Amino acid sequence: MDKLTLKPGDVFASHSTAFKGKAIRLVERIKSRDNEASHNHTGIIISETGVSIEALYTICVTNIADYSGQKVLIARWKDMTEGGFYQGYDAVAKHVGAWYPWPRLPLHLFGLAKFIHWKTPVCSELTAKFLNAAGDRRNYWGINPDDLVDEWRISKHYDIIYEGVL
């Protein structure tokens, strides 16, 4: 990561080998169109030094460097502007400190998360909400990490700036 140049507005996905990560990927794989799910978590990079916003046990400010030794994908929306970044940041920063919405996870399993939701998004919905407010997406409820990673990989509007073990 020494030579990696991060920008505010970059987004990332990670792959955890813990039980929760494996369970999330299993549900994603069941629902996936390509029968694959390589990542189980996403977040938003808000500074060149890797400071990030993500939904863990709470929605919190962390650093991408915390994923050292894990499989990570970092993507960059080609049309991100400074104004778009701040609009996205404003949309998600208000969630910092909120508890993770654990009851939403079964809704994702049954395909109901896009219809039934509360104020607090899960990690991938938080990332998609950021991109929505920045100008890239139309929706964010019900989005899972695999949905985002698949979009980032195939879209001509995204560059994958890093993929591998951090």
Question: pLDDT tens, 115-130?
Answer: 998 899 999 999 999 9
Whole-prediction pTM value? 0.88
Provide DSSP, the chain: -TT----TT-EEEEE--SHHHHHHHHHHHHH-SSS-----EEEEE-STT-EEEEESSBEEEEEGGGGTTSEEEEEEETT--HHHHHHHHHHHHTTTTPBP-TTHHHHHHTT-TTTS--SS--HHHHHHHHHHHHTS-S--TT--HHHHHHHHHH-TTEEEEEEEE-
CATH assignment of 11-165, among 3.10.129.10, 3.40.50.300, 3.90.1720.10, 3.20.20.120: 3.90.1720.10
Domain residue ranges in the chain: 11-165
pLDDT in tens, 25-69: 555 555 656 656 567 789 999 999 999 999 989 999 999 999 999
The strands making up 59-63's β-sheet, listed across from edge to edge, are: 59-63, 51-55, 41-45, 11-15, 71-77, 158-165
pLDDT for 77 beyond 70: yes
pLDDT (0 to 100) of residue 144: 86
